[in-house]
Chain A
Amino acid sequence: MESGDKVWEVFIQKKPGLAFKHAGSCHGYDKKMAIQNARDLYTRRGEGRALWVVPSEAIVSVPLDDSEAFFDPGVDKVYRHATFYKIPDGVDHL
């Protein structure tokens, strides 16, 4: 990559109260340029009211090799779901 030019990941909040959603990426040499480029690239039609840009290199993700083991603890605990529990008929608001 050209000296100083960086890739940034762009997150948009569509409306107040909603979560920020990943929209794609853009280029920029510094933070100000990155967020202006993100605006010009991803919000030309009022797609959002708030923007984040994060240097792509700052994103941490799970290595592909490890992903099965990494997420394994989350798959066998059915008691973490509300549907696991039996509630007698006639009991409301649970």
Chain B
Amino acid sequence: MDKFEKAFNDIIEKDLKVEPRDWMPEKYRKTLIRQVSQHAHSEIIGMQPEGNWLLRAPSLRSKQVLLAKIQDEAGHGLYLYSVAETLGITRQEMNAQLHSGKAKYSSIFNYPTLTWADMGAVGWLVDGAAIVNQVSLQRTSYGPYSRGMVRICKEESFHQRQGYEIMVQMAFGTPEQKEMAQDALNRFWEPALMMFGPHDADSAHSSQSMAWKIKRESNDHLRQRFIDRTVPQAEFLGLTVPDVNIKLNKETGHYDHSPFNWDEFWNVVNGNGPCNQERLDHHKKAHHDNTWVREAAAAFAAKTETIVA
């Protein structure tokens, strides 16, 4: 083992942070690029289901809030792209990998947002699940990723609270509104739980990522934490979690649940969800339609920037 590898192992063992200039195993770098770019793409694609309701938000207040939330998602995507760039991949390469299908994004965004209550369910459940995952990732071993997570977590709590506020308004509104809230919960519950990824035993990248402290807690562990937090929140709303086997297990202190429909999960991961094609097509179209903006910016910079090489 050379001194660089030893230095890397020391950093991991002592719970310190690996920084961009430090030596790191090639596989550590690749694993991080895959995970961080997927995370970034999820933030960016995640703007689409919410953008769907921007022009139909029921009040000026809700529209302002939704706009601010979507702007945050863009910001989170950009923080994460920056993190990946410190590992030696360019923004352009990441975009190309997204467009070719080589890079994935979270499957949750391949579900449609059909009613205003879905804006509530997305904030409450999808952002809620993301927070559980991201709080854990604040302790990841790669410094820039860890710092990005700290920043993102500060901002995400507004997202989850605004989602729950919508759920409260709907659940305690008219019978039709309550029905919409229940319907949104029914559709988003299991997909939100699957955001944590496959069971630990079936997770291809988990054990090495845990050893390198890229991931700090296992998929199943984080998923259970989310369930335990969320079920009482659903009860407060007077809504029913769409799983007849959800109940508090007095012995473990955790909620038991039914097995998940993993066929559905893999089907969506593999591109056959309700909105996979639409999400990707929209991203490609926006990228291509804006080519002229990038060209104009480059031409303007070439004419006006003298000091910067």
Contact = CB atoms under 8 A, between A and B. Distances in A.
A34 to B, nearest CB: 9
A7 B85 contact: yes
A1 B301 contact: no
Interface in A21-79: 24-27, 29-31, 33, 40-41, 44-45, 55, 57-58, 61, 64
A55 B308 contact: yes
Given A2-B92, A2-B294, A6-B308, A64 B22 contact: yes
A58 to B, nearest CB: 8
Contacts, number: 68
Q: Chain B, interface size: which category?
A: 20 to 34
A16 interface: no
A44 B72 contact: yes
A4 interface: yes
**What 7 pairs across the A-B complex have the smallest Cβ distances?**
A4-B298, A29-B297, A30-B301, A29-B301, A25-B82, A30-B305, A1-B90
Interface of B: 4, 21-23, 71-72, 75, 78-79, 82, 85-86, 90-92, 144, 147-148, 151, 155, 294, 297-302, 304-305, 308-309
Given A25-B85, A44-B75, A55-B308, A33 B91 contact: no
Interface of A: 1-7, 24-27, 29-31, 33, 40-41, 44-45, 55, 57-58, 61, 64
B79 A64 contact: no
A27 to B, nearest CB: 7
